[in-house]
Structure 1
Amino acid sequence: MAREHSTILGRDEQWARLDDTVHATGRAGALLVLRGPTGSGKTALIEAATKNWLRHDVQVLSLSATVPTPRMFDTLLEAVRRRVDDHRRAPELLETVAAAAQLRQHDAGSSLCNPLPLVHELTRALTQLARGQRTVLVIEDIDHIALESASALASLAHGVRAAGGVVLTTVGGTSWGAHQQLVNLADSVLDLPPLPEDDVTALLARWSGGQAAVDPATTAALHAALGPLFGNPRTLRSTVRALRSEERLVIIDEHLCLRPPEEPIALTADHELLRRVHDCGPGADRIVWTLAVLGEFDVNDLPVLAETADVELHACGRVLDRLVRDDVLRETSGRVHLPVPALGTALAREGSRTPRAVHDALARRMLAQHERGGAVDRSALAHHLVAAGPESGGRSGVEVLIAEADAAARTAPTRAAERYRAAVARLPGSDRRLPRLLEAMTRLQLFQHRFRELADDLGTVLPALLDAFPPEDGPEGPAPYGSDDAATLADLAICWFLVQLHEGRITELHHATRLFALVTTRDENTDAMRRFFSALFRGRVREATTTLNTLFGPFSSEQDETRSTTALDAVLMLLNAAEGEHEEFRQTLAWWQRRHPKRHAPDTEQLREAGSMLDHTTALELLLGNHHDGQSHHGRSRGYRGVLHHYHTGEWDTALSTARSLEAARPHARSSLAHHLTRVVAAEICAARGHFRRAEEWLARIQHGFACGHLVAWVRCGLRHRRGHTAAAVADGWRDYQRHRDRGSTAGLERLLERLIDYSVRIGDRDGAERMLEELTTFEARHRTPSAREAALIAGGMVRSDPTSLREGIQLARQRGDAPRVAHGCAAAGDLLDEPQPWLHEGYALVKRFGSSYGRGLFSDLMRSRGIALTRSRGPKEPLSSTENRIIDLVSDGHTNRQIAMAVQASEKTVESHLTKLFARTGYRSRVELATARLEGRLPNG
């Protein structure tokens, strides 16, 4: 029987070395040590290898060094006895077994203090077995062997090897002990390193039920939480099972996502690291938890650690040393840290601990020292006060927070915003400093685009201010604040209103409008606000914008131009940039620049482009400046801006992962405008890749009556066309265009018209294409956005066969970094121009980077029709993984996806995902092309 090639996921190298040793020609024996930490997969590898060896007539005997010595050797004796009847040299084997059994009977009830006589007989028996049949003796966990048994076990292993058998031992670590003599005897030591990320991803898909591919953000979250244990199979598997049982793993867009993404991941309660912590003695859990909260600690500050963890100083030092020695904590250059954050989360659950208690203890200690006149790190004190919560610190804590926030406002705006927030949360509504602090906090939050957090902050503080205003007819007057403070509060009310609107908190808007009404005295406010809400909820965007400008504009113009307003300038600019015509935009920009002569003028092209796709985050950054100071921004990396950026640059996998993370973060909350826009872009990517059902599911999540309907219509039009219903796509898309245009919404209008013109040309409707081009040209003349200019040039070049217009439009899109539009222009240029090759090759390279099978098919058809050879990749820059190589081999042998899935121990969906990535990386479009490339040696690792 020919020996079959087998693999175990992620351990191909070790599998091959074990298998080759057992099946090596000749009868030479071998002693192998398989070394790897607990959970690294030693047992799984041996079990898989054993099944394979048994199929190939190799006999395998196993014992564990973790059991007491008598029982360990008794187990081996029983295994040998079962083989007596099947062995060709039964008399000799029976003699040795009988001798061993007699020894055990003589020592019945004893602890077998001298195991050597028994081991001698067992060695003779195993020698008989090895001479008649290839034999493998597996001895697991030799690092747990008792000292008195180590020499006997070494003698046994040496004897089996001398008889031509293979002895395979496993060891968990590199520490010295009784087992070292066995390690010294070994012919080879095979280390099991952490699994590579590709193999971890494949295993995650299998362990999560094989229902879907694993989203990269989920893998990244596990990596961050587990640290050096990320490649440890047992830890990964137990962690994934726990997440499944907690219903934190959900399928979104056919990918397994973590919900909520920001919630930390914990080790399971039975994990070895937790056992090590508890074995280190009383107080060890509090010490580790304190370090988990603080991140790292200087060993010179041991008294502070002992006091914070509530552990006696001498005991704290002793326990800390053991925690480092047992690899629970790690020490580098005098700094101690916890390498596995998930351990800290597990300890928090185990003891119902919160980080606030640690920060509060440190804050109280530092405040007491500060009040005694001692030197303290005021910045560190402010950090602990922020994290300890509003109940910590008292009056002196508030003063520290305000002073440190003012000091950091220019150099570290993220820290300053956090400290202003903490101070505001501690002040009563009647405190005269509150308006100034609220304004500073809000301005910094806007700078950092933390809209959801700002909505929460203002929603917590500002309603309390309503109680500070007596009734209008009361004897105390309109407010306890001066006119400047009232103007600031009016600004804050406007800002609160807008962030509520941005985050979809429609039911809370009346609080903001009430506060605005209280700090202003114009009678027309109520009617204007009613008109605004009526227009907003009916989708009349232009009317809503005009009404809001009318409502807030005059109040703004009455303010002192030297005062720094929080939100009003940005609001007016943002609304005009989003939907305003060019002349209106120009006038508002001039007004804004007069108000802020010292502020750097924004890039108007970028601002207009941000407005054309309702990218409020980019618009605010352009208006207010980029005040990022290197610290993380909540939600920024998962926001609409990120998805839009990755869509334009062609990083579509990242865009979809970001969209899925946002979806997982807010599964039940009312969706904001940005959330809906993210879904639009995700649907467009799925449709362009030919994943039509996924595109439909993204569109189904978008709220009915979504104000930016042109963008939804743009995606639906493309989806219908790609499904083969081009005429219907044009007819329905034209009706959608007219309906949304008449309602005043223009976001995405030029993209829809551009698509309608393209499809009209394809079906030969030149009259329709001309009519739509006229609409697009008119729109571009009135709005003059970069996107509209590019769309008009490319569409005009297509309809009127104008190479100059086409080239100019492509070049502008290329300069702006809109890769999908460049690809669209390249397709048009390749179909129209006399020298199509460079255009078609560029477009093909782009759609291949997008992972768009539909786009690759389109360009392939164009190249064939123009007589141009298809481009071929020279292969991926990175070598193929072991799993990818195995899949290619099986494809070359003609196996189906189901057969491949069984062979590589993965789901069919995982195999399909690997094949899709292989097609994208290699440039081949089919299994046949991939197999041919393997046979011809055109793939790496082939």
Structure 2
Amino acid sequence: MEQLTGTGRPPLTILSGPSGVELRSYVEEICHRLEVAREGRVVVVNLSFSEPPAGADLMSRVPPLSVLRGRPGTVLVFKNAHRLPVDALGTLEALVRQVANTGTRCVCAVALPLRPETRAAFRSTFERLRADDLAQLVTLRPVPRGRVSELVTSLIGALPEPALCDALWAVTRGWPNVLATALRMGGDLMSVVDRHAYLTPWRGQFQVPANEELLADVRALGPTSWDVAKAIAAFGLLGPAAPRLVAESLRLTEHEATTALGELARAGVLQHVRVGSAWRFRVPLVGFSLEATFGPYERRRLAQIAVTALWQGTARCDIDTYLPDQLASAGRLVDPCRARAELLTSAGQAAVDSPNRSLSWLRAAAELTTDRAERVRILLTHARTCLLCGEAKQALESTGAVLGGDAEEIGEGQLVNVCLLHLTALHESGDIATLEQVAEDEWWPWPGTPLEQAVGRAYALALLGHWRQTRELLEKIRQDPDAALVAPHVDQISPITGLWLGDCAEFDHAVTDVVARVEAGERPHSELRWLVGTLMTLGEQRRAEVLLALADRVRIPLKTACQAALAAAHGRATEALQLTRKSVATGARNGCDADQTAMFHLAATVQLYRGKLSRALALIATARDRTPVLPYLLALTEASHERLFGRHAAAREVLEVALRQANEAGVIALTDLLWTSLADIAVDLGERRLLPGLLERVEAVAKCMGTEQAELNRLTVHAAVHDDRAAADQAVALLRERGQPLELVSGLERLVRFGVAAPELLLEAYAAAGGLQALMCRAWLRNLMRTHGISVPGRQETVAENERLLATLVADGLGNKQIAILLGASEKSVEGRLSRMFSRTGYRSRVELASAMLTGGFPG
């Protein structure tokens, strides 16, 4: 504002920028601020498209000079000044010279590029005024590519990933108001998880309101220009052929189409690129928005013209997704046999690197085929690809179409597989009500024998985490005389069911079997993937690594949840968080299997250790909304959160409710974690008499599961009950052998707090917490170290950490009273520390501080 109308500035400011929403939005903001600052002494003159004023008209639209002299400080804002004809520029120049000493300021908004017929006159007028110190030029600039992240964060309050910034730059070229428009219209462009924004599998589709300002300049050029602009949005990638195709689509001559394209270029909408003779939108978002306005037939007709030109060789395009996209849009307006074949080829090529691109191509190919058996094969491929890409609702449409209309074309012995695929899609799309109806034998509208339907019921029960009921139903199926017909499906469900119920025999056999199969040359992708994920969920990293070596050999990509668990196990806590967010943002919006439940638990624990308490609870809430199959695992973080605030009774209640849940489902696996957490509370409250009973529970789990994690918890609680230092030493050795920093920190701290290990171990835990950036955890450890007379290393580092933890808690939305409880200080002390921190850093509010913490700008 000061740059435009401040004291000492020339009386005229030319504000130039790209035509369209960027300049208009900026001018509207300027007018608003001027109205507030100048107490209404602002006169806005809109030099619109429909009323190009002559010189006399211009003077009649501003207050007389006598009025301006009597109201110093008035600002005249001329919108659309680029529309001024040549003969009006002299009048504008005279006006500026007359008001130069009156205190009146003029702001002229000029859209670039200027029209050729007025360009020279504008330049000479401005140069004369600038030579006399009567004018200045302020040119709007886009945000540099490297600062797009900062701009997006300021707009949405979340930190965008690089891929999202790249996509936004590609459609907006960094213009701030255009970028804000893209975020508003982008629909499912991004997903925000844990204050981080991620690019979704998005295809450049925008939701454009009828009155969208972004397209106002195009509409104002008239119906012919509007139609030509829409057509070039479809054909712009076809280079020299584009004008001819525009003409064909609109029934114009090629000369008329080229003339209209030139008019769009002069208006600043298009740009003609000589290399390749291409027509491009100066702001790509305008082109995407125009495509969004296509009607159904209009889209198909334009696609037909494009496909025909490409097939005939009269046009070419170097972008490999363009033709299949147009084939999918054209449908049967082009040769369906050739279109289907090319769509399937393109989908096959995209299957590995960008499967989400192939979804519309596969569905279009299915609609083009007349062979029902082929249609079923394509739809099932589409459904599996959709589930891989997190598009469960699309998968449900395809599996539903197969089961509802083409079930007789399903290959022999494949009906159960299709039904299980459909049930998976139901779960991941969030249709839990239908899944429960299937599980309770209240609903089965699809084909299948009673035995096949029973397998479907068992699978539905497993998806819902009803493990005991699943096992009971599987036993009934095994007793059926025809059980051999569905044995492969029973063998698929049974091992994981037995595992969670504490019977590991089938699961262990499955692990041994898959190793042998890989050694024999097989590539059991799905089995390897779920076995590795399950072992990581159980905390069996060392067993999982044996299978990981096999997975690498046969090049099997791991599930994101498994990757996150591996990252956490190796101490890469930030990577684990990033993978969790990415999984939530771009994966299925519903459904939470065992691997994903463990992923949420680990990520929430990391956030809790880092002092981001509300964000930890938000992750747990997200998991609970997805109907997790191991809900009791999420209670661990909730109970830890309660303990942080000294609410031990609430923490105990959370754990006991979770254990009742697990018992109702018959679950034993991982419950040792909950019993051990109850032991934590008993020790904190001085109720050590409860420990023997808790030890019995932990021992029972360890005996059933035989996992290292369960054994570690057994050794720890056993040492506390019997004051067995040898058991404590074994626990320490196992912690070090496993080498998982998150576990090492909590395990060593627990052994010292239980009074069965040397306090010096806290130094090892403290160092491991530092590697995890676990500020909250380091604060707990410092308090415990002081209690045991252990010197805290790094005094200056401690001071810096304390300030950063304070900033983290403030940014997390906690009040002074809550912070005081967490830090073991008084509210007055917290107020003083906050005041000093704000004074030192220069932040004026908690909002500014939170933004700095999010973007990494906090100086602490």
Q: Name the TM tier (shorter chain).
A: 0.5 to 0.7
Contact 2:204 2:288 in 1 (8 A): no
Indicate the residue corresponding to 2:522 in structure 1.
599
SS in 2 for 1:189: strand
Contact 1:401 1:423 in 2 (8 A): yes
Residue of structure 1 aligned with 2:89, choices 144, 150, 153:
150
Indicate the residue corresponding to 1:227 in structure 2.
171
Residue of structure 2 aligned with 1:912, choices 839, 846, 857:
846
Question: Is 1:320 equivalent to 2:261 in the alignment?
Answer: yes
Indicate the residue corresponding to 1:4 in structure 2.
none
Distance 1:740 1:262, change over 3 A: farther
Q: In the aligned structure 2, how far is the partner of 1:742 from the partner of 1:511?
A: 22
Q: How much does 1:753 deviate?
A: 4.0
Q: Deviations over 1:94-128 (max 9, x none)?
A: xxxxxxxxxxxxxxxxxxxxxxxxxxxxxxxxxxx
Equivalent AA in structure 2 for residue 191 of structure 1: T
Question: Is 1:193 equivalent to 2:124 in the alignment?
Answer: no
Equivalent AA in structure 2 for residue 343 of structure 1: V
Q: Deviations over 1:25-72 (max 9, x none)?
A: xxxx676544434135245346536755x59xxx97767483653354
Distance 1:443 1:787, change over 3 A: farther
Q: How much does 1:486 deviate?
A: 0.9
Residue of structure 1 aligned with 2:64, choices 63, 78, 81:
78
Indicate the residue corresponding to 1:365 in structure 2.
308
Contact 1:137 1:166 in 2 (8 A): yes
Contact 2:355 2:385 in 1 (8 A): yes
Distance 1:760 1:331, change over 3 A: farther
Indicate the residue corresponding to 2:823 in structure 1.
none
Contact 1:650 1:820 in 2 (8 A): no
Residue of structure 2 aligned with 1:39, choices 20, 24, 30:
24
Q: Deviations over 1:618-670 (max 9, x none)?
A: 999969976789xxxxxx9xx9779879988346986896688689x96xxx8
Indicate the residue corresponding to 2:534 in structure 1.
608
Q: In the aligned structure 1, how far is the partner of 2:292 from the partner of 2:683?
A: 63
Distance 1:198 1:758, change over 3 A: same
Indicate the residue corresponding to 1:872 in structure 2.
800
Question: Is 1:709 equivalent to 2:631 in the alignment?
Answer: yes
Indicate the residue corresponding to 1:352 in structure 2.
295
Contact 2:672 2:710 in 1 (8 A): yes
Q: How much does 1:893 deviate?
A: 12
Indicate the residue corresponding to 1:730 in structure 2.
652
Which deviates more from structure 2 when the two are superposed, residues 804-813 or residues 788-797? Answer: 788-797
Indicate the residue corresponding to 2:573 in structure 1.
649
Equivalent AA in structure 2 for residue 586 of structure 1: D
Equivalent AA in structure 2 for residue 517 of structure 1: G
Q: Deviations over 1:161-214 (max 9, x none)?
A: 689997765544363353323543436533333466577558746xxxxxxx56
| Identity score, percent | 16
Q: How much does 1:729 deviate?
A: 1.9
- Which runs of structure 2 are paired with 1:36-185 in the superposition (5 Å)? 36-37=17-18, 38-39=23-24, 41-42=26-27, 44-45=29-30, 48=33, 52=37, 64=45, 66=47, 69-70=55-56, 72-74=58-60, 78=64, 80-81=66-67, 83-84=69-70, 140-141=78-79, 142-155=81-94, 157=96, 170-173=109-112, 175=114, 176-184=119-127, 185=129
Distance 1:803 1:696, change over 3 A: same
TM-score normalised to structure 2 length = 0.68
Q: In the aligned structure 1, how far is the partner of 2:664 from the partner of 2:429?
A: 26
Q: How much does 1:557 deviate?
A: 7.6
Equivalent AA in structure 2 for residue 598 of structure 1: G
Contact 1:367 1:397 in 2 (8 A): no
Equivalent AA in structure 1 for residue 29 of structure 2: A
Contact 1:35 1:173 in 2 (8 A): yes
Q: How much does 1:435 deviate?
A: 6.3
Residue of structure 2 aligned with 1:507, choices 420, 423, 434:
434
Question: Is 1:343 equivalent to 2:286 in the alignment?
Answer: yes
Q: In the aligned structure 2, how far is the partner of 1:282 from the partner of 1:756?
A: 73
Equivalent AA in structure 1 for residue 67 of structure 2: R
Q: How much does 1:461 deviate?
A: 1.4
Question: Is 1:455 equivalent to 2:396 in the alignment?
Answer: yes
Q: In the aligned structure 1, how far is the partner of 2:392 from the partner of 2:551?
A: 16
Q: In the aligned structure 1, how far is the partner of 2:304 from the partner of 2:778?
A: 61
SS in 2 for 1:190: strand
SS in 1 for 2:137: strand
Q: How much does 1:22 deviate?
A: 1.4
Q: In the aligned structure 2, how far is the partner of 1:591 from the partner of 1:834?
A: 45
Q: Deviations over 1:858-898 (max 9, x none)?
A: 3564566554231527999xxxxxxxxxxxxxx9997999x
Residue of structure 2 aligned with 1:275, choices 203, 216, 235:
216
TM-score normalised to structure 1 length = 0.63
**Contiguous gaps of at least 5 residues in structure 1:** 1-14, 87-128, 130-134, 206-212, 469-479, 630-635, 877-890, 905-910, 925-937
Indicate the residue corresponding to 1:486 in structure 2.
412
- Which runs of structure 2 are paired with 1:773-812 in the superposition (5 Å)? 775-776=697-698, 779-780=701-702, 782-783=704-705, 802=728, 805-806=731-732, 808-809=734-735, 812=738
Q: In the aligned structure 2, how far is the partner of 1:260 from the partner of 1:458?
A: 21
- Which runs of structure 2 are paired with 1:537-686 in the superposition (5 Å)? 540-545=466-471, 547-548=473-474, 551=477, 581-592=503-514, 597-600=520-523, 602=528, 606-612=532-538, 649-650=573-574, 677=597
Q: How much does 1:587 deviate?
A: 1.1
Q: In the aligned structure 2, how far is the partner of 1:592 from the partner of 1:835?
A: 40
SS in 2 for 1:36: strand
Q: Deviations over 1:833-867 (max 9, x none)?
A: 4264564355256356xxx7x55753564566554
Equivalent AA in structure 1 for residue 237 of structure 2: E
Equivalent AA in structure 2 for residue 70 of structure 1: A
SS in 1 for 2:269: coil
SS in 2 for 1:599: coil
Q: How much does 1:74 deviate?
A: 5.0
SS in 2 for 1:486: coil
Distance 1:593 1:426, change over 3 A: farther
SS in 2 for 1:840: helix
Distance 1:160 1:821, change over 3 A: farther
Equivalent AA in structure 2 for residue 22 of structure 1: T
Q: How much does 1:500 deviate?
A: 3.4
Q: Deviations over 1:274-303 (max 9, x none)?
A: 233345565544454455457833334554
Q: Which structure has the larger Rg over C-alpha atoms? A: 1
CA RMSD of aligned residues (A): 6.3
Indicate the residue corresponding to 1:517 in structure 2.
448
Equivalent AA in structure 1 for residue 434 of structure 2: T
Q: In the aligned structure 2, how far is the partner of 1:756 from the partner of 1:912?
A: 36
Q: Deviations over 1:229-276 (max 9, x none)?
A: 76444x567778889xx9999999999999999994345544555233
Q: Deviations over 1:110-165 (max 9, x none)?
A: xxxxxxxxxxxxxxxxxxx7xxxxx6865645544442342354355457668999
**Contiguous gaps of at least 5 residues in structure 2:** 48-52, 805-831
Distance 1:499 1:341, change over 3 A: same
Indicate the residue corresponding to 2:820 in structure 1.
none
Indicate the residue corresponding to 1:102 in structure 2.
none
Q: In the aligned structure 2, how far is the partner of 1:761 from the partner of 1:572?
A: 39
SS in 1 for 2:800: coil
Q: In the aligned structure 1, how far is the partner of 2:149 from the partner of 2:265?
A: 31
Contact 1:22 1:166 in 2 (8 A): no
Q: In the aligned structure 1, how far is the partner of 2:211 from the partner of 2:626?
A: 48
